[in-house]
Structure 1
Amino acid sequence: MSETAHHDHDRQSIRLTSGDAVITAIPTLIGFTPADSLVIVTVAGRQVGLTLRVDLPPAGQQTRELAAQAAEVIDRHQPGADLAAVVVIVGTDTRPDLVGALTEQLAAVGVAVPQALHTPAIAAGMPWRCLCGCGHSGVLDDPATSVLALTTAVATGQVSYGSRAELAAALDSRIDPDTARRRGEQIAALHQSAARHQITAGRRGAPDDSGVADHRGGPDHSGGEETDAVVQGAILEFGARVLGGGLDQLDEEVIVGVGAALLTAAHRDALVGWTAENTEPGVMRAGWLWMVQQLTGEARAYAATLFALGALLEGDGAAANVALELAEQVHPGLSLTRLATDVAGCGIEPAVLRRMLCDAAR
């Protein structure tokens, strides 16, 4: 299991000047406090670039394979850059085999490892030391009160979770089974009504054998136009609440309408574009988090996928991966979820991803 995080230098400059500063920055850089993990923080000068976290592998062939994969990821994401990498081992063992393999593989792609660090856990009062023979060591301060954590919270609203499990729990449903069942039925009914309207409208406007459009069906009395108005109104109200606050004041009709919109390709594509176009930190993630907590079934899976895209647009691969795992669990096989999973695996830089999504939505 692995995550990548990209730091956006347009929003906040990060400079890490000591080993303990690097270690206490990790929860903020990746969004949660890792355990039994390898963390690689790339640095240009003293400015942070890509951060990569993976579970510690067992010794042997898997260690060598992981080191090669990590070097390939870093080289692919920042080719030609004058990079160094700080390697951090979080766990009971210092893992000299892993540090050695990484140093060798990173050197092969032109990335030096000036420092390797170890701590049993990233928490206040835990010991840390450098593994490079320099003798540097000490005791960690509380990561939550570091300058980086506090300035990041103020600048972007980003929350650092105590563990990956705690991050996953933030996406848990907030509705009871009866509400979930009722909303699922209402979303399905609204979506089916909209789909029938689209089919009927297509048939009325389709040409017959003479090439003349068939309007014999007359006006649409199926309620399809009313259905479209409900869905469009829900999207507008949701957008207003996302941008202006008050998500907890959304009523049942809006939640159901957004759920139905997520099941319709045209509306869903528009929502993807809207998510990419809004650049205010944390706003889109908060909106889709609310929908993940309030929706059910396929609509919830799409909301989780859009939350993941919002996270990737802010360089937060950890939150994106957790949300995509949830989406696949709730409703397996959605093409948008697969696409987002591929994007997360490639580690596309947020600015590049934003341009891609905005262009696709036009």
Structure 2
Amino acid sequence: MTTATSTTALPRLRLRTPDDILAGTPYLFGFHPSDSLVALGMRGCQLRFHMRDDLPDPAEDLDVLADSYAAMFQRQHVDQVVLIGYGPPGRVEPLLHATTAGMRRRGIVVREMLWAHDGRYRSLVCDSAACCPAEGMPYDVTVSAVAATATLIGMVALPDRAALVDSLAAPTGAALEVAERAARHAQTRLAGSAASPAAGVAALDGALRRTRDGDRLSDEEVAWAAFLVHNLRLRDAAWMRIDRDGEPGLELHERLWSDVLRRCVPAFAAPAAMLVAYAAWRSGNGVRARIALDRALDADPGYRAAKLMGEILDRGLSPQALPPIVRPDPSAAPARRRVARRRRR
């Protein structure tokens, strides 16, 4: 599964050597890659865009795949890339060479090409057996200064992608029973007195304030928030609020809707999951956005907002390529240009 992400919103890590690159990459994606191709795109000396994809099936056409990667990076106007292949050399090296050729055909310079597997790495652009023997050099990301810096500034690298998926997983067992009970209460409340849009917005703002203050929403509050954003006006109000609060508020919105997503009944999760995906994408975390999007489509395969989010991720669009829905609040973040057209559902 391809995941491409703008890097501009992420804290900057200085990745100078192959060891630095291998130590920093897990923090860019939020987990330690395995059986993966990773490409780090640069404009000048700044990391601007990065992508991870599963290693392809042996029958897949590597040249076609490589050209699709190169086209994605060309759209991001990067001029250099670093490629890393995680996995057995027989599967990784042909893909690295094909991707390098694809990048070069589009005028993108490949600065480094690394193979990494089982704690060893080798540069495929180095011909010296002294520094890059065929069996690779040992490396340990846990003792790197880059890893220490990433941890210090609050970045996290989970053991694998499955652990990241688990962090947004639906409730099960006793937690699911609690969520179902709260959902029944919310349904009764909704049937008894339909909430006005103003009351709904006030309830969502209250949940946001509670989350900002570090309070944990009650099960009933989680279920009510999940139900409210099934109303398109309230969903769009929450969606636009993410952009209006700007970059400083992205973590707060993602935290609120992630809590709702993890604790609500799975069948009702699509709007909350889409809001997590949007906030994560805006903050530069394409991996988390993709996982949240999968939750949305699992709940409702026809959900139009999730399909739109999927198109954004599939095209590898960066947040800078798509202006906000509304102008951010000047008190929260620098003003950005207004979108010329309204977003379709």
Q: TM-score range by the shorter chain?
A: 0.7 to 0.9
Partner of 2:240: 273
Matched, 1:15 2:8: no
Distance 2:282 2:219 in 1: 29
* Identity percentage of aligned residues: 23
Shift of 1:172: 1.8
Give SS of 1:8's match. Answer: coil
1:91 matches 2:112: no
TM superposition shift of 1:61: 4.5
2:100 corresponds, among 93, 100, 103, to 103
Cα displacement string for residues 14-58 of structure 1 (whole angstroms, at most 9, x for unaligned residues): 332111211121111112111111111112343212111111113
* In the alignment, structure 1 residue 330 sits paired with structure 2 residue 316: no
SS in 2 for 1:39: strand
The answer to whether the aligner puts 1:166 opposite 2:133 as a matched pair is: no
Partner residue in 2 for 1:129: 122
**Structure 1 runs not aligned, ≥5 long:** 194-222
In structure 2, the gaps of 5 or more residues are 328-338
Aligned residue runs from structure 1 range 337-356, under 5 A: 337-353=306-322, 355-356=324-325
Q: 1:353 to 1:299 in 2, by over 3 A?
A: farther
Alignment of 1:1-362 (within 5 A): 1-8=1-8, 12-59=11-58, 61-78=60-77, 81=78, 83-93=79-89, 95-121=92-118, 126-135=119-128, 136-137=131-132, 138-143=137-142, 146-155=144-153, 157-174=154-171, 176-192=175-191, 223-224=193-194, 231-246=200-215, 248=216, 250-278=217-245, 279-280=247-248, 282-353=251-322, 355-356=324-325, 359=339, 360=342
Q: Which moved more, 1:146-155 or 1:171-180?
A: 146-155
Q: CA RMSD in A?
A: 2.4
The one-letter code matched in structure 2 to 1:84 is: Q
Displacement, 1:233? 4.0
Secondary structure, aligned partner of 1:15: coil
Look up the equivalent residue of 1:88 and give its one-letter code: I
* Cα distance in 1 between the residues matched to 2:156 and 2:318: 21
Q: Secondary structure at the match of 1:160?
A: coil
Change in CA separation of 1:321 and 1:98 when aligned onto 2, cut-off 3 Å = same
Asked whether the 8 Å contact 2:35–2:55 carries over to 1, the reply is yes
Aligned residues of 1:106 and 1:113 also touching (Cα < 8 A)? yes
The offset of 1:176, in angstroms, is 2.4
Q: Letter of the aligned partner of 2:262 in structure 1?
A: Q
Instruction: Indicate if the aligned counterparts of 1:37 and 1:91 stay in contact, CA closer than 8 A.
Output: yes
Q: Which AA in structure 1 matches 2:239?
A: V
Letter in 1 for 2:165: A
Q: Which has the higher Rg, Structure 1 or Structure 2? A: 1
